[in-house]
Amino acid sequence: MKVIQFLIGFALLALASSLASATDPGHLQDVCVAINDPKDGVFVNGKFCKDPKLARAKYFFFSGLGKPGNTANRLGVNETDANVEQIPGLNTLGISPFRIDYAPYGQRPPHIHPRASEIFLVLEGTLYVGFVTSDQLNNTLIAKVLNKGYVFVFPQGLIHFQFNIGKTNAAAYSALNIQFPGEFTPANTVFGTHPSINPDFLGKAFLLDPKIVKDLQNKFINGN
């Protein structure tokens, strides 16, 4: 009886610890180059793996982070992704980088990576960056001005931002502890939904006149 209880307890513990693991699972082979075609593939919690004997340098390589992205847009920002879609060799490894470029006074608006923490390195310029804790810690703003070479960390799932406060371009490099971090920007996901959320409800939630909500919905959906 005791043994059975122990075994059940142990199984529950193992289950709990596997549920608590929120990044890519530990990899079971040297390499698992992602392929989109399941034919000849092995299924893992990510993408299918190419036959490991066919691993080549090109699957672990990306040249796109060396040059700035075009920042001529409303927010004056450009993010160049280098996740498992661009580097299939990242599959199952629990890591991925990206590059962000900012025009003078450009910004990455408040946004969230639901599945990863981010470590952020300034390549050039001066950025005001920060994140906000959840209501567990009273929505506290944790923010700082960063110069070239400085590093900042954005914890998983918390809303964070970067504003270029300089008159010059800025650029940064980020690494996230997952192969595909995901991203959502609340301004877009609230006001730019398809179809629109009832403006009366959003007005109440955001302390806004429903007419202003309608105007915001119009701008976020039709791009303004």
Ligand X SMILES: *[C@@H]1O[C@H](CO)[C@@H](O)[C@H](O)[C@H]1NC(C)=O
Whether 160 has a binding-site annotation, put simply, is yes
Q: Write down the least CB distance from residue 55 to ligand X, Å.
A: 29
- Using Cβ positions, the residue closest to ligand X within the complex turns out to be 69
The residue (of 23 and 133) whose beta carbon lies closer to ligand X is 133
Cβ neighbours of residue 77 under 8 Å, at least 6 residues apart? Answer: 71, 100, 101, 102, 103, 106, 107, 108
The residue (of 69 and 125) whose beta carbon lies closer to ligand X is 69
In eight-state DSSP terms, residue 42 is B
The residue (of 101 and 118) whose beta carbon lies closer to ligand X is 101
Residue 183 burial by Cβ neighbours in a 10 Å radius (0-12, 13-18, 19+) = middle
Q: Write down the least CB distance from residue 70 to ligand X, Å.
A: 3
Q: Write down the least CB distance from residue 101 to ligand X, Å.
A: 8
Whether 111 has a binding-site annotation, put simply, is yes
Q: Write down the least CB distance from residue 115 to ligand X, Å.
A: 22
Contact set with ligand X (CB under 6 A)? 69-70, 73, 78, 138
For residue 7, give the H/E element and its range: helix 2-20
Measure the CA–CA gap between 169 and 178, rounded to whole angstroms. 28
The residue (of 140 and 193) whose beta carbon lies closer to ligand X is 140
Binding residues for oxalate: 113, 118
Binding residues: 111, 113, 118, 160
